[in-house]
A and B are shown apart, each in its own frame.
Chain A
């Protein structure tokens, strides 16, 4: 708790500063010759998509620690990470959809990447639904950890199978990389925004873990008080 007390606000400040610089550079960058202004959606879309996978890795790691070492803090971390990961996944899907409409002329295509991100969202939702519907906290923790690890095994298979399915069905994908390979003008803001998202996730994660720990302490205190 001593660490997170100063680390959470610090991560938050770093996130805001990085996002300000990243957005400034992102809006100052010249328009893409094919995509025009819509290319700037990338600076939110790509970091969100990266984070959606990174957070699941965090969830899987925390679940493993909580299952093997039965550490309460690891479980609090896993529980706190899931809604954040789902939020990043929704953000990636929503911005992708907004970007897809002007670029491909469709809000949604059954492209391999889109589909596997959608399945990732389903995994997050299943995890949260399972935790929410088990009343016993210790049982919810272990059941959730088992499901998260099943997801760790399954998500690469899903990702690969969806890729295989897509290439099987359509030859030339809508996702052909139009335009030039990324110039420095786009690369720097993208990297800055990714770091900003990462820092924002760190800050939010720590805040949520703190909240979860406080909630458990309050519950324990209430139980002690009721016993007197």
Chain B
């Protein structure tokens, strides 16, 4: 287990330390959230209606941004070969990589999400739910995103390819989280959306590493 712990610490340190870490992702998130009122017009009533949805979509896009580095760096410098040879199963390595990604960028983004939503005009009562959705959904984004990152290893234009593969996989979590937030904002029962988001996240955490490990083995073969 100490091997797995060391691996997780390495992933978090790399994702946090190299290339600006979460700050770059946060900057992208703030930038996306800024473009919205510029595009739709600054009337508070119109903005408030779409504030949570937009904060949520911007979160999905920001999660996409940091995926490129997830496997590519280790693939290029040969660290991935060593991980395949290590006694830790590759599936667990992939899961730890995604978990590290979530700790280093997903969680900071989740903390910023309520700020962005309120800045756009969402009600302050929404803050706990936005935080919960962003934390749970961020895990789903990291694990489904890892599939796309692993599949596009060694491909030309890997970053763009990752986005094309991953965006359709983001459809269910975006729907579930958005529905929970929308229902809460209109005073309807919101638990179903959050529960479904959690279910999708659980499935992604359980099945995603299998696909990622298969894709990594294929890229290294």
Whether B131 sits at the interface, judged by CB under 8 Å, is no
Contact at A146–B156, with CB atoms within 8 Å? no
Whether B202 sits at the interface, judged by CB under 8 Å, is no
Taken together as a complex, chains A and B put the C-alpha atoms of A9 and B15 apart, in Å, by 56
Q: Tell me how far the C-beta of A110 lies from the nearest C-beta in chain B, rounded to whole angstroms.
A: 11
Taken together as a complex, chains A and B put the C-alpha atoms of A162 and B172 apart, in Å, by 7
Contact at B215–A146, with CB atoms within 8 Å? yes
- Residues of chain A within 8 A (CB-CB) of B147 are 150
Interface of B is mostly: helix
Nearest A-chain residue to B169, judged by Cβ: A154
Contact at B175–A130, with CB atoms within 8 Å? no
Contact at A142–B167, with CB atoms within 8 Å? no
Contact at B152–A130, with CB atoms within 8 Å? yes
Q: Tell me how far the C-beta of B41 lies from the nearest C-beta in chain A, rounded to whole angstroms.
A: 22
Q: Tell which of B157, B179, B215 touches A165, judged by Cβ atoms closer than 8 Å.
A: B179
Interface of A is mostly: helix
Whether B151 sits at the interface, judged by CB under 8 Å, is yes
Q: How many A-B residue pairs have CB under 8 A?
A: 77
Taken together as a complex, chains A and B put the C-alpha atoms of A123 and B169 apart, in Å, by 9
- Residues of chain B within 8 A (CB-CB) of A164 are 175, 179, 196
Contact at B171–A158, with CB atoms within 8 Å? yes
Whether A133 sits at the interface, judged by CB under 8 Å, is yes
- Which size class do A's interface residues fall under? 20 to 34
Given A150-B147, A161-B175, A162-B175, decide whether A126 and B155 contact each other with a Cβ distance below 8 A: no
Whether B165 sits at the interface, judged by CB under 8 Å, is yes
Contact at A154–B168, with CB atoms within 8 Å? yes
Given A126-B165, A142-B218, decide whether A161 and B176 contact each other with a Cβ distance below 8 A: yes
Contact at B152–A133, with CB atoms within 8 Å? yes
Given A146-B211, A146-B214, decide whether A130 and B171 contact each other with a Cβ distance below 8 A: no
Whether B154 sits at the interface, judged by CB under 8 Å, is yes
Given A139-B218, A139-B221, A153-B207, decide whether A161 and B155 contact each other with a Cβ distance below 8 A: no
Whether A122 sits at the interface, judged by CB under 8 Å, is yes
Whether A223 sits at the interface, judged by CB under 8 Å, is no
Whether B184 sits at the interface, judged by CB under 8 Å, is no
Nearest A-chain residue to B167, judged by Cβ: A122
- Residues of chain A within 8 A (CB-CB) of B16 are none
Taken together as a complex, chains A and B put the C-alpha atoms of A21 and B149 apart, in Å, by 49
- Residues of chain B within 8 A (CB-CB) of A122 are 164, 167-168
- Which size class do B's interface residues fall under? 20 to 34
Q: Tell me how far the C-beta of B74 lies from the nearest C-beta in chain A, rounded to whole angstroms.
A: 17
Contact at B200–A134, with CB atoms within 8 Å? no
- Residues of chain B within 8 A (CB-CB) of A151 are 168
Contact at A129–B175, with CB atoms within 8 Å? no
- Residues of chain A within 8 A (CB-CB) of B175 are 161-162, 164-165
Q: Tell me how far the C-beta of B186 lies from the nearest C-beta in chain A, rounded to whole angstroms.
A: 11
Q: Tell me how far the C-beta of A31 lies from the nearest C-beta in chain B, rounded to whole angstroms.
A: 38
Whether A184 sits at the interface, judged by CB under 8 Å, is no
Nearest B-chain residue to A67, judged by Cβ: B214
Taken together as a complex, chains A and B put the C-alpha atoms of A179 and B221 apart, in Å, by 58
CB contact list, A9-47 vs B, under 8 A: none
Contact at B171–A126, with CB atoms within 8 Å? no
Whether A168 sits at the interface, judged by CB under 8 Å, is yes
Interface residues of B (CB under 8 A from A): 147, 151-152, 154-158, 161, 164-165, 167-169, 171-172, 175-176, 178-179, 182-183, 196, 200, 203, 207, 211, 214-215, 218-219, 221
> Please, could you name 15 A-B residue pairs with CB atoms under 8 Å apart, sorted by A?
A122-B167, A122-B168, A126-B165, A130-B165, A133-B155, A139-B154, A142-B214, A142-B218, A146-B211, A147-B165, A154-B168, A157-B172, A161-B171, A164-B175, A164-B196
**15 new A-B contacts at CB < 8 Å, known A147-B151, A161-B171:** A130-B152, A130-B161, A133-B161, A139-B154, A143-B151, A150-B169, A150-B211, A153-B207, A154-B172, A157-B200, A157-B203, A158-B171, A164-B175, A168-B179, A168-B183
